[in-house]
Amino acid sequence: MGKFVNLIKLSVGTESVEDLEAWQRHRSKQIEDGHYYHVTRMWPKREADVLNGGSIYWVIKGEVQARQRVLEFRERIGQDGIRRCALMLDPEVIRVTPTLKRPFQGWRYLEPEDAPMDLPKGRENEAALPADLNRALAEIGVL
């Protein structure tokens, strides 16, 4: 597969992974060719690296909790005439080991070695640690 890079983004207003999935599948009007897409203002300069196996990691309630493969980038021109980037996403939402992440604006690159691990099959529905406990463990270096 070669070198790839991921993206990381806050899922603003999302309360849970289930909420993210429901938004993408049932409430969003951003579906094309059977795939949800997320529109962002900036086009990734490392487009080829992202498309070489990268995912978008979703930060929900201060924790990285899930990821989706990025399949393609498509141009969108807004009503204001500004060029934007539609991230075409694989429908499968993969849960990852919850990892704390401070707020940031827009999206960032996330190197594979810094990305949280996927949860093993069968553990996707296990309850995560409470956010306060997870935060406290991270502060003392346990997580």
pLDDT digits (tens, 9 = 90+) for 77-107: 988 999 999 999 999 999 999 999 998 898 9
Domain ranges of the chain: 6-139
Instruction: Tell me the C-alpha distance between 97 and 128, whole Å.
Output: 8
Full-prediction pTM beyond 0.85? no
Q: Please state, for a pLDDT cut of 70, what percent of the chain lies above it.
A: 83
Paired with 84 in beta bridges are: 76
Instruction: Tell me the C-alpha distance between 142 and 140, whole Å.
Output: 6
- Residue 131 neighbours by CB under 8 Å, 6+ apart: 61, 62, 63
Instruction: Tell me the C-alpha distance between 42 and 92, whole Å.
Output: 24
